[in-house]
Structure 1
Amino acid sequence: MILRAFPRASAVALAALLAACSGNGGGSTEPPPVARCTFANPVAGGADPWVVRWNGAYYMVQSRDNGIYVSRSTRLTEVAGPGTRVWAAPDTGWNRTNIWAPELHRVDGRWYIYYAGGRAGPPFTHQRAGVLESAGDDPQGAYTDRGMLYTGDDLAGGGENKWAIDLTVGRVNGQLMAVWSGWENNATTDKTAQHLYAAPMSNPYTISGNRTRLSSPVEPWERGTELDLQEGPEFLQRGGQTFVIYSTKESWLENYRLGQLRLTGANPLQASSWTKSGPVFLPVGGVPGVGHASFTVSPDSSESWIVYHAKTSTTPGWDRVIRMQKFGWNADGSPDFGIPAESGRQIAMPSGQCAN
């Protein structure tokens, strides 16, 4: 062994360095661990999450306590807050109870909230679609009730409205249109098959034509054990292609999942213009009953994200939580949602959300 002589000052400095590295003599000088730029599902309690990004912030709309609330956050993973109540159901009228699944849309420079409501229930046989219009440019500001939307078969003749929930809107080939889940005929039981319907709109609060049935739950992967249904339709558009992503099978059971319609024809108001495929998002062990999704992008717009709900257990019921994850795109332009991320697993934050 060769021993090298060190000047005294250098030896003292070396001893101090070795003591610091060993963790002895006064404790470690290692910096505290940096928080990882990750999150885990679920992100909040709740159901039917609708998220929209606007002016650098995320807005989520939800219904509870017979009212509608809008929350705001600059962080996608923290958007499911208590929010501001923007509307309360009236004491009387067609929409006095059972306020379900609101959606927040910016159309022609104003905000609109589409929701389902009823006058009684259970059984939930009186549900209809309504719309609220913002007074200004603030998604959390005041809204005016624009009333019930027409979801029947005889607009010109004043025919009755038909049962409708989960109405959404979108502009396809320049045409503003509504898509919702409805019954063929009004019934005295809510165990009635649900189909997807569409109709044109002359403005964001007026349906201007009779409905067309776009799709029915006829495929083996859509058929339920208690009820056949399609609900929660949402537009998803990218690269000149238009999809309607919807939920199917019973929402209160563990096999709730997503299906897809792709616009392959010229007229989006004709059933023959849509091609069905699925299932495109399935429950997995530990994440049962996935469905009723909405779609947004990361803060830097480089990633696509799905926000959805899942059941908390395989037991029948509506105890649900909100979850989110990044998704990709297939070579044919269709979305690739992958599989639900298991609870507690650390997931990279949406791109652009973490500080550099």
Structure 2
Amino acid sequence: MVLIIGIATACSPGSSAGQNNGDDDSLIPCTFSNPVAKGQDPWITKKGNYYYYIESRGGGLYVSKSKELTNIKQNEKLVWSLPETGWNQHSLWAPELHFVNGQWYIYYTAGEKPGSPFISQRSGVLQAKTADPMGGYIDKGQLYTGNDIETKADNIWSIDLTVLEHEDQLYGIWSGWEENRDTDQTPQHLYIAEMENSWTISSNRVKISSPEEEWEISSSLPINEGAQILKHNGDVFIVYSASQSWLPSYKLGQLKLVGEDPMNPEHWQKSGPVFEGSDLVHGIGHASFTTSPDGKEHWIAYHTKVSTDPGWNRVIHMQPFGWQEDGSPQFDRPVVAGKSLEKPSGTCSE
């Protein structure tokens, strides 16, 4: 929801001002307020002058294209739907749109069985048929996230797969179980593996994070999930979600690459929580990161719960963030719904 305010207060000193050509209707509001949309697991990527947003809804994947970060759901298009048969015919979750090696890919989670318990979830990848990320996609199949890369036998439960490009090597990072079980009340860990290309895992997985800290557990089910890559000034971070997504205790933790090898668990340093809710903002989680239109500001998009009641009624929030002296991100406190914020730098005409 974009907050439209009066002309007298649309621009404040130092803000990005709308250009007024003598016609009051031409003044562009330079503020917005959260939430910016309904939904969950927000994934936003910037390419050229456009922001692309992807979400799953009703068994389909929808991509939006906008020049305005805080008005992200524009020109929405259905780009892919679940098949009627196969491993990925149900429970479509957490898609991500990535531009890798000159092509667009969508990484997503789906399952063979409908509804709870969600014990058949696996990770899949789609490749765009053309240079247009809003066009058609080819299903490149299920990614192997198990322990036997030679035979690819006994694939293991996985969700929220993302990719890391580091030192000319591509890696897959996801949330998974230590072994397949008949209950989804199973602890989730973060794993990494090397990739041969954008649709092929080429090494056995390595566990790089387990929910062992008190703030990662919160109640009966320890969870690490929703890993996202954040890079800045040569540093590499994984910002991930901890605790349970259906509870107000959901929050963000962080891994920093402090060595040379992402496949070495000892080369990842954990800290957290780095971003969590307040009395007025509940269940912060599954973030993604981008920059303002002019590239001068860093922004985080994340979902929040609309109430403290258990469940998945969620909305999308956005706000700028900065950096600490040690190079780590500084997210501060979540901005409450309805509070006016300046739009990202470069959004409005000067």
> Normalising to structure 2: TM-score of the pair?
0.91
Q: Structure 2, unaligned stretches of length 5 or more? A: 1-21
Give the match for residue 112 of structure 1: 105
- Tell me the SS of whatever aligns to 1:221: helix
1:40 aligns with 2:33: yes
> 1:81 Cα deviation (Å)?
4.0
> 1:158 Cα deviation (Å)?
2.9
1:332 aligns with 2:313: no
Give the match for residue 241 of structure 2: 247
- Tell me the SS of whatever aligns to 2:222: coil
Give the match for residue 86 of structure 2: 93
Deviations 1:43-86 (A, max 9, x none): 01000000001120000010011011100101000113471111
Q: Which has the higher contact order (CA 8 A, sep 6+)?
A: 2
Give the match for residue 72 of structure 1: 65
1:168 aligns with 2:129: no
1:197 aligns with 2:191: yes
Percent identity between the aligned chains?
Answer: 50
Give the match for residue 213 of structure 2: 219
Give the match for residue 6 of structure 2: none
> 1:157 Cα deviation (Å)?
2.8
**Structure 2 CA distance for aligned equivalents of residues 285 and 355 of structure 1:** 36
> 1:159 Cα deviation (Å)?
2.0
1:59 aligns with 2:47: no
Moved over 6 A (4+): none
> 1:247 Cα deviation (Å)?
0.2
1:132 aligns with 2:134: no
- Tell me the SS of whatever aligns to 1:72: strand
**Structure 1 CA distance for aligned equivalents of residues 161 and 134 of structure 2:** 20
What is the aligned-residue RMSD (CA, Å)? 1.3
- Tell me the SS of whatever aligns to 1:94: coil
Deviations 1:138-188 (A, max 9, x none): 010110000000000001033211000000001122210010000000010
Give the match for residue 181 of structure 1: 175
Deviations 1:213-240 (A, max 9, x none): 0000001111131310000000101111
Contact in 2 for aligned 1:226/1:250 (Cα 8 Å): no
> Normalising to structure 1: TM-score of the pair?
0.90
**Structure 2 CA distance for aligned equivalents of residues 274 and 296 of structure 1:** 23
Deviations 1:253-309 (A, max 9, x none): 001000000000111011111000000001012210001000000000000000010
- Tell me the SS of whatever aligns to 1:272: helix
- Letter matched to residue 235 of structure 2: Q
1:232 aligns with 2:226: yes
Describe the shift of the 1:150–1:31 C-alpha distance in structure 2 as closer, same or farther (beyond 3 A): closer
**Structure 2 CA distance for aligned equivalents of residues 164 and 137 of structure 1:** 29
1:347 aligns with 2:338: no
Q: Which of these residues, 128, 149, 154, is aligned with residue 155 of structure 1?
A: 149
Contact in 2 for aligned 1:134/1:143 (Cα 8 Å): yes
1:206 aligns with 2:206: no
Deviations 1:199-218 (A, max 9, x none): 00010000001000000000
> 1:32 Cα deviation (Å)?
5.4
- Tell me the SS of whatever aligns to 2:266: helix
Describe the shift of the 1:69–1:184 C-alpha distance in structure 2 as closer, same or farther (beyond 3 A): same
Count how many residue pairs are aligned between Structure 1 and Structure 2.
327
> 1:36 Cα deviation (Å)?
4.1
**Structure 2 CA distance for aligned equivalents of residues 188 and 224 of structure 1:** 23
Deviations 1:105-137 (A, max 9, x none): 000000000000001131100000000001111
- Letter matched to residue 264 of structure 1: V
